[in-house]
Structure 1
């Protein structure tokens, strides 16, 4: 018999246009949602979450875009804050790596994500993929 009581999850989810404007909006919405959950603007935790959302949303727009398809942002608050960004391209899996000399971009943002979060990964979905990251929640939801 399982007597463990699951921690309730509070969620925010938004579908966004797969454009640079949509990526910017994802960052702003995440920041606003954190404030609604009691996280002060500009604190270390808020800055880390906003940086992660900005990177994952930018990747969804730049590398996960398919014409006519949007991307989604989901924040789920339980014992940890889980950030999920889903896009329509499942064949382009993110890999954190430094750029080679003369190469444009190349995964440096994901190295930053690795430094800011407790763990992250990629989950396949149909269609596309979800890139997720988890950060320890600094307070009680």
Structure 2
């Protein structure tokens, strides 16, 4: 009597990378997330949502979780059979835990507005300690996600963009005061050059 052979199950795909606590490191986290999920044949909708969530969490790690000489860590775990994704972003500032602000208009630069987008796009998110003094922000995503209303998503995205523009202006102002004036100009890095350039090594402690 012939018996059906058990179908092999696909193992969970995992990825982990230390990245510098800089705007470039945050951009690289987003690019690496998209690259890995595409290589794992994750659904496009899940990949797009993960890109937005990682972009926000990595930006928070750089802006609010940075300690001189420390990196932040991006970790992904994807389970193909259930199309379930876990995102973890770990930084060195366990004393600065993210808090979801009230869902109402707030002045630009108050901070935390992008977490509304994370809450809207993820099935669940939370923050746990990372000994001895860091923290890990975790987000769970799946294809069973219930889509929020377009208006709430647009309002959250607009808040993120406004906060990002404010943060960029602040960083440019600080940088202009810290470095002497220079005559030469530099060309911006393309996405391919960013991906090909080696990321400075570091030890997350």
Q: TM range, normalised to the smaller chain? A: 0.7 to 0.9
Larger radius of gyration: 2
Distance 1:69 1:128 in 2: 11
Distance 1:64 1:106 in 2: 13
Is 1:34 aligned to 2:37, yes or no? yes
Deviations 1:2-61 (A, max 9, x none): xxxxx8432100000000000000000000001110136xx3221110000000000000
Is 1:133 aligned to 2:136, yes or no? no
2:61 is paired with a residue whose SS is helix
Number of aligned residues: 131
Aligned-residue CA RMSD (Å): 2.1
Greater fraction strand:
1
**Structure 1 residue ranges without an equivalent (≥5):** 1-6
Give the TM-score of the pair, scaled to structure 1.
Answer: 0.84
Distance 1:129 1:76 in 2: 18
The counterpart of 1:95, out of the listed 92, 95, 99, is 99
Answer whether contact 2:93 2:135 (CA < 8 A) is retained: yes
Q: Using the TM superposition, give the Cα deviation of residue 100 of structure 1 relative to its aligned residue in structure 2, in angstroms.
A: 7.0
Runs of 4 or more above 6 Å deviation: none
Distance 2:122 2:46 in 1: 10
Answer whether contact 1:18 1:60 (CA < 8 A) is retained: yes
Identify if the C-alpha distance between structure 1 residues 35 and 60 changes in structure 2 by more than 3 Å, giving closer, same or farther. same
2:68 is paired with a residue whose SS is coil
Q: Using the TM superposition, give the Cα deviation of residue 113 of structure 1 relative to its aligned residue in structure 2, in angstroms.
A: 0.3
Greater fraction helix:
2
Identify if the C-alpha distance between structure 1 residues 10 and 104 changes in structure 2 by more than 3 Å, giving closer, same or farther. same
Where do 1:12-31 residues align within 5 Å? Answer: 12-31=15-34
Q: Using the TM superposition, give the Cα deviation of residue 106 of structure 1 relative to its aligned residue in structure 2, in angstroms.
A: 1.7
Answer whether contact 1:81 1:137 (CA < 8 A) is retained: no
Distance 1:103 1:85 in 2: 24
Identify if the C-alpha distance between structure 1 residues 123 and 101 changes in structure 2 by more than 3 Å, giving closer, same or farther. closer
